[in-house]
Amino acid sequence: MAKDKIGVALVGYGLAGEVFHAPLVKATPSLEIAVITTNNPERMEKAQAAFPNAKIFASLEAAIVEGSDLFELVVIASPNKFHAPQAKAALNAGKSVVVDKPFAINSEECREIIELGKSTGKLVTVFQNRRWDNDFLTIKKLIKEKTLANIVRFESRFERFRPTLDSKKWRETTGAEEGGGLLFDLGSHLIDQACHLFGTPVSVYCELNKRRPGVESDDDAFVALEFKNGERAHIYANIASAIPGPRFRVLAMNGGYEKYGLDPQEDALRKGSAPGQAGWGVEDKSMSGKLGHEKDGGLIVDTLVSEKGQYEKFYAAVGDAIVHGEKNPVDPHDALLTIQIIELARKSAQQGTKLEFNELVPATL
């Protein structure tokens, strides 16, 4: 490994590890994958083939015992229930950590990780990559430039059509108590985006359902958040959308924005592309959003080309934070807030009512 690079241990080589984290770390000049951990023989072979200079271990524990000198950053891309124990193990070993979303499966675990990061002096951050989606960056720009001012409603959706349960996917066959379900999987992105724009909510309302036979946790979720300045966020995640709604619909007192389709970066990663390659993060103009606004006393709707998606910004910032003490790209307190909202959302769904949010008081599941 080059002396000027930060050694990375990638924990987990499933979808998150292989498709998202590995290529993004590889594309970051300051980082180098030195260790990969997985106990799946087939994934061990794939990992070694993709990263011939990396050392493969069956577990994070083995990597810490036998190869600790190879890495100083641990990227946790394992199933949700392992996030907290593995993050704490890495911090106790003197390593900085990137935790894939959701940060943990309850707010108590989140606080423990944050406090351990403070006591060890190591970086703790969370992979909220959807902050760098092209459509979300477009919305941030519209709000910053006051093209959209005095937001009334923010609608955000991740909708899919998967009416048949896939028993091989742990997210669909694991209960919420172990981090399964759409509220954890997709809701953690959608809630983070809303709070990144508007801050801490004052109230939470949620509806959760299990639609498919045999599913162990929610596969249909709706969350309504109200913020102190009057903004309302309506968040949808489900598997029964043969006709999907818009990815985003933002209504303001001086205009509105609507966008269909998904940011192109995930699809590009799945196809083997990565940052730095031609067309990375650039959306086909046919997928552009619509911007409605007033002009000369009338309402007009223009096509608005999306900003370029920038997933590479996350790991570049991680490297800068470790080496130069620059700003943490995702404050772990933001990720704690998301988990607190998810906890209260479950309580709201159980009670069938809107609940006030108090970030100082953990919700009781």
pLDDT in tens, 268-293: 999 999 999 999 999 999 999 999 99
Say if residue 215's pLDDT is above 90.
no
pLDDT-based confidence at residue 1 (cuts at 50, 70, 90):
low
Other beta carbons within 10 angstroms of residue 214's beta carbon come to: 10
Q: How many residues does the chain have?
A: 365
Buried b (16+ CB within 10 A) or exposed e, 6-40: bbbbbbbbeebbbbbbbbbbbbbebbbbbbbbbee
Residue 5's pLDDT is 96
Say if residue 171's pLDDT is above 90.
no
Superfamily of domain 6-127: NAD(P)-binding Rossmann-like Domain (3.40.50.720)
Tokens linked to 164: 């048949």
Residue 363's pLDDT is 44
pTM of the model: 0.95
Question: SS3 for 331?
Answer: coil
pLDDT in tens, 305-321: 999 999 999 999 999 99
Average pLDDT of the residues in 139-160: 97
Average pLDDT of the residues in 49-65: 98
Say if residue 365's pLDDT is above 60.
no
Residue 2's pLDDT is 63
Q: To which H or E segment does residue 303 belong?
A: strand 298-304
Residue 317's pLDDT is 99
pLDDT-based confidence at residue 186 (cuts at 50, 70, 90):
very high
Residue 360's pLDDT is 54
Say if residue 216's pLDDT is above 90.
no
Say if residue 327's pLDDT is above 50.
yes
- Helical residues (DSSP H) of 71-168, grouped into ranges: 83-92, 107-120, 134-144
pLDDT-based confidence at residue 359 (cuts at 50, 70, 90):
low
Say if residue 295's pLDDT is above 90.
no
Q: Rounded mean pLDDT of the chain?
A: 95
CB distance 88 to 116 below 8 Å:
yes
Q: Between these two residues, 3 and 341, which has the higher pLDDT value? A: 341
CATH architecture of the domain 134-309+341-356 equals: 2-Layer Sandwich (3.30)
Domain boundaries, the chain: 6-127, 134-309+341-356
CB distance 210 to 181 below 8 Å:
no
